[in-house]
């Protein structure tokens, strides 16, 4: 199974200049755990901010989320793969890089994102279809 | 096959099974037509869905009349008929979506997500068909039912996001807005009906084994 079948295509984003509070609001409102961060300048200059970043780097340290910018806690650059890679290849990449999500890119355009949960759900679907599950 | 072992079924039962398989195959094709219509912006393919719905109606009638003409044990008959009726409901919502698609002015930024829903609907149909075959072989349907629910959840998430975007679209004309809302509603309703059909298969499977 190729990853473009189970990736999430709707990617929510946030400007790097906004505050961590804005990021929290967006994640809670959309029921998601990460946002693509857009930095000013080049179109393909992206980072990623996750719920984990906000909790560990801001809230756990007692920092007011309105006082800190997304740019200062976002991970950068993002890890991209092309749409033809397999579930096994993506899982291996995540394990090697210690990350929980990778972006799927076509040239410089981001077309989707694959998270750990997407990999688990797709492995269940593969089992149900009788395909070989790694 | 499992059913054959249990009921030692004859020609009538065989006809019902074959018709249910045809019904599901036609549904998968119809979902594929609709996905193709959206992907290639080909309205001719959307009309194929309407033809498939009509053919599906005929198959459903055949299934029900064969069942009540004496196929299978009486306690199984209502559940089998209900399954055929739920599959027919999937055809109905697919047809409604196709007809709305012929009229709708779909904003480009919504197209990708709607196309994704159409693709996932096709996958769900395939899984329903796989589940039916698995039931005939006496396999456990737990994994298949879970896969159907996963697809449904994915479509639900997409629906949430599409509806959110939909509210931002300015509407100049009442009917234009109404058709767009109906299109999204029927498109995302297909998976609910497929999930119901999957649940019904579970019921049939459990009642056959008890």
Give the pLDDT band of residue B81 (cuts 50, 70, 90).
Answer: very high
Report the range of poorest mean pLDDT among B56-60, B71-75, B144-148: B71-75
Angstrom distance (rounded) from CA B142 to CA B15: 27
Please give the residue of chain A at the shortest CA–CA distance from B139.
Answer: A128
Phi/psi class of residue A12: alpha, beta or left (left: φ > 0; alpha: ψ in -120 to 50)? Answer: beta
- The pTM (predicted TM-score) of the whole model is 0.85
pLDDT tens digits for B19-66?
999 999 999 999 999 999 999 999 899 999 999 999 999 999 999 999
DSSP A86: B
Domain ranges of chain A: 3-129
**CATH architecture classification, A3-129:** Roll (3.10)
Domains contained in chain B, CATH given: 7-209 (1.20.58.220)
Q: Is A120 on the interface with B (CB under 8 A)?
A: no
Angstrom distance (rounded) from CA A87 to CA A67: 39
Say whether A10 and B161 touch across the interface (CB within 8 A).
Answer: yes
Q: Is A98 on the interface with B (CB under 8 A)?
A: no
Which residues 17-36 of chain A have a CB within 8 Å of chain B? 30-31
Angstrom distance (rounded) from CA B71 to CA A58: 66
For residue A77, whether the previous peptide bond is cis, meaning omega lies within 30 degrees of 0, is yes
pLDDT tens digits for B111-144?
999 999 999 999 999 999 999 999 999 888 999 9
Angstrom distance (rounded) from CA A134 to CA B159: 31
Question: Could you say which of A5, A10, A128 has the minimum Cβ distance to residue B146?
Answer: A128
Angstrom distance (rounded) from CA A94 to CA A114: 10
Neighboring chain B residues of A128 at a CB cutoff of 8 Å: 127, 130, 143-144, 146-147
Say whether A124 and B161 touch across the interface (CB within 8 A).
Answer: no
How far is the alpha carbon of B68 from chain A, nearest alpha carbon, in Å? 32
How far is the alpha carbon of B37 from chain A, nearest alpha carbon, in Å? 19
Q: Would the pLDDT of B5 be above 70?
A: no
Q: How many CB pairs under 8 A join A and B?
A: 32
Give the pLDDT band of residue B156 (cuts 50, 70, 90).
Answer: very high
């Amino acid at each position: 199974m190729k990853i473009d079948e189970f990736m999430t295509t709707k990617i929510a984003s946030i400007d790097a200049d906004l505050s961590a509070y804005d990021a929290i609001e967006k994640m809670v409102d959309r029921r998601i755990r990460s946002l693509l961060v857009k930095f000013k300048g080049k179109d393909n200059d992206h980072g990623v901010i996750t719920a984990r970043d906000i909790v560990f780097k801001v809230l756990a340290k007692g920092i007011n989320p309105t006082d800190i910018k997304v740019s200062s806690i976002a991970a950068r650059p993002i890890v991209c793969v092309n749409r033809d890679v397999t579930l096994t290849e993506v899982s291996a990449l995540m394990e090697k890089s210690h990350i929980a999500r990778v972006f799927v890119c076509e040239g410089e355009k981001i077309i989707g994102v694959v998270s750990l949960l997407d990999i688990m759900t797709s492995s269940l679907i593969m089992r149900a279809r009788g395909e070989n599950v790694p | 096959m499992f059913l054959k072992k249990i009921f030692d079924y004859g020609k009538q039962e065989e006809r019902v099974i074959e018709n249910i398989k045809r019904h599901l195959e036609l549904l998968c094709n119809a979902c594929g037509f609709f996905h193709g219509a959206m992907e290639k912006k080909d309205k001719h393919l959307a009309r194929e869905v309407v033809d498939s719905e009509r053919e599906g109606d005929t198959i459903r009638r055949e299934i029900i009349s064969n069942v009540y003409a004496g196929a299978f044990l009486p306690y199984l008959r209502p559940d089998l008929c209900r399954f055929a009726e739920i599959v027919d409901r999937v055809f109905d919502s697919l047809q409604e979506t196709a007809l709305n698609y012929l009229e709708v002015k779909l904003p480009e930024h919504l197209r990708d997500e709607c196309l994704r829903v159409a693709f996932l609907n096709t996958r769900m149909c395939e899984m329903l068909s796989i589940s039916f075959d698995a039931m005939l072989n006496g396999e456990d349907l737990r994994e298949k039912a879970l896969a159907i629910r996963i697809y449904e959840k994915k479509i639900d998430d997409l629906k949430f996001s599409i509806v959110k975007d939909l509210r931002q679209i300015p509407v100049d004309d009442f009917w234009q807005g109404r058709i767009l809302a109906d299109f999204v509603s029927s498109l995302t309703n297909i998976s609910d009906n497929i999930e119901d059909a999957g649940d019904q298969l579970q019921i049939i499977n459990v009642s056959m084994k008890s």
